[in-house]
Amino acid sequence: MARQPSRKKRVLNNRFRDANATLPETLTGDVIRMIHHLESSNSFHSDEKIKYLQKMFMTKFVSSETDSADVRAQRAINKWLSVERDNDATNTRLLLTLEDYNILPRVTWRSFIDYARGLITKLLGDTVPIEAIFGGFSGGATTTRSRFQSHPALKYLGQADVTSAAHKWFDLLLEESPLWREFSTAITIREVEGNHLFTVPKSTTIDRVACKEPDLNMYLQKGVGNYIRRRLRTVGINLNDQSINRNLAREGSISDKLATIDLSSASDSVSLMIVELLLPDLWFGLLSDLRSPSTLIRGEWHKNHMFSSMGNGFTFELESLIFWALSYSVRHFMRGSGVISVYGDDIIVGSDYVHELISVLDYVGFSVNRDKSFTSGPFRESCGGHYHLGDDITPFFLRRPIAKVRDAIVIANQIRKWASIPWNSILDCGIEPLWLHIRSFIPKGLWGGDNLEDDSQLVDNTAPRFRLAMVTQQRDNGDGGYLLWLDTCEGASDTRDVIISSNRFLDQSKYRLRRVKAEKRKLPSIFISELAITTETQG
């Protein structure tokens, strides 16, 4: 008879085989303590990088011992409503601003607005092309579907919400799209007043507010957002590439000639009046119809003074467009120099006119985050990149207790990314004990990954064997999936987009199926389910 393993070994093996099993509570405390005791004397990394990590890595941590979810959510809602009061004041101020008011030295309000509006008009055109409303569904939550029921294919079927002002644009889409005309009976349209507010974790003390848009509003908003995104690329603003801003931030930390600006609640601070002042009339009319005029907050409707919120399909592109136009206009009137780069509310401009730009931004309703904006000195931060005299000191963040195998993989890979010596993949010997301690709680079968952004394998120097596999929670291989594929093709701007977009959709679907089937043959089913039980806040 084969010898049975000891009870202690059986418990240990079962813990390692069960990817959903809770790891020891002491692991999180061990990691926090070891990070706080890191020293530059026994590490390749600079004292500045280590101290910055120790300052930042716990700022987004949320657990049962930090402020409760209700407290963080209420703080976020209170802040959102406070920004709305500011937006109301901004709308009044901009409406009453006299044309000869000097927004800059010897620059009148009228001449400044005319110049900025001219830039946007030249970029977008006076009229709205029909292609601008050919959008698409994302995987985000809407007023009819939670985040866990929000696969794009599912949104072509069943109930779909729309505001009354946006309804006529969807009717126009029906006229212009054979696809939508053919399958429009697959959805039941309901007119609603606006979007629904919800919150997601942001930091230890406060959540972030976003809004779930009506389904068809979101579809149309995505079309406008994609169109603005494409037009911005013609003037050098690429919203598909954050590395541009990160590289410029690094350059600014060396030369001191570029400043980085970060704004507080930027998307929520785009007021109705600033959009009306800067956009051509027809574009303003379209975007006004597609926005949500009201927001449902815990059962009560709020009339919005902001133009759009996070969750709207064109908010990111619209704010980027406005910040580009304002920055370019200030540079023009101040005869400044240097590059202008914008990625949402991450703005990079020349140091020689940054203070004038900050003054303009403040007047039109935006609040500069002084803690994350850098106009001089050795430090710059933009698009998640943090630099000190050219050195990348970007920290990683411990966002929650290390409770499960996936949590351990995430933090171990983040540590490796932060601590690897720049010119090779060798782990810094000063950080290695911390990484090895976390690795000891990860099953050996999951060692061997090569992608530090992947949360299904631990990256190390061994040969890969297994990976955690996502259990697909929602899939539509019928009418909804077919409509999604057809709409991807029909909404493309040219033939190349059809080929690229449709292949991406098909390849991605097959890859998920093959991967899950292959892993089921190699791993116990209990391993497979780990990624399916994440506890992210539901939108």
**For residue range 11-26, what is the model confidence (pLDDT) as tens digits?**
444 444 556 678 998 9
Q: Which of these, 272, 292, 312, 321, lies nearest to 84 by C-alpha position?
A: 272
Q: Rounded distance, CA 246 to CA 348, Å?
A: 10
Q: How far apart are CA 190 and CA 171, in angstroms?
A: 13
pLDDT at 305: 97
pTM of the model: 0.83
- Residue 111, amino acid: S
**Which residues in 184-213 are b (16+ Cβ under 10 Å) and which e?**
beebeeeebbbbbbbbbbebeebbbbbbbb
Per the structure block, which two tokens stand in for 90? 């901004």
E strands, 91-240, in order: 102-104, 107-108, 158-163, 187-192, 194-201, 207-212
Q: Which structure tokens are listed for 529?
A: 């389910």
Which residues does 47 contact at the CB level (< 8 Å), separation at least 6? 40
Closest CA relative to residue 430, chosen from 43, 38, 54, 32: 43
pLDDT score recorded for residue 468: 80
- DSSP codes joined into one string, 84-112: HHHHHHHHHHHHH--TT-EEETTEEHHHH
Q: Please give the helix or strand (H or E) that residue 498 lies within, else none.
A: helix 495-522
Task: Reduce the DSSP state of residue 435 to 3 states and report it.
Answer: helix
Query: Which residues neighbour 418 within 8 Å (Cβ) at sequence distance 6 or greater?
Result: 53, 394, 395, 396, 431
214 — phi, psi (to 5°)? -60, 145
Taking only the tens of pLDDT, the chain with its 539 residues reads 455 555 544 544 444 455 667 899 899 999 999 999 988 765 667 789 999 999 999 999 988 888 888 999 999 999 999 999 999 999 999 999 999 999 999 999 999 999 999 999 999 999 999 999 998 887 788 888 877 666 777 777 788 999 999 999 999 988 888 877 777 777 899 999 999 999 988 888 999 999 999 999 999 999 999 999 999 999 999 999 999 999 999 999 999 999 999 999 999 999 999 999 999 999 999 999 999 999 999 999 999 999 999 999 999 999 999 999 999 999 999 999 889 999 999 999 999 999 999 999 999 999 999 889 999 999 999 999 999 999 999 999 999 999 989 999 999 999 998 987 655 567 777 888 999 999 999 988 888 888 888 888 899 888 777 888 755 444 444 555 555 655 655 544 443 333 333 333 333 332 222 232 333 333 333 333 333 333 333 33
CA angle 530, 535, 539 (to 5 degrees): 130
Give the per-residue pLDDT at 386: 96
Instruction: Give the SS3 label for residue 131.
Output: helix
The answer to whether the beta carbons of residues 240 and 232 sit under 8 Å apart is no
Cα(282)–Cα(161) distance, rounded to whole angstroms? Answer: 24
Query: Can you say whether the dihedral through the CA atoms of 372, 373, 378, 383 is positive or negative?
Result: positive
Query: What's residue 191's pLDDT?
Result: 97
Please report which helix (H) or strand (E) contains residue 306, including its range.
Answer: none
Tokens in use for 146? Answer: 């939670």
**Tokens encoding 198:** 């919800």
Residue 454 is predicted with a pLDDT of: 85
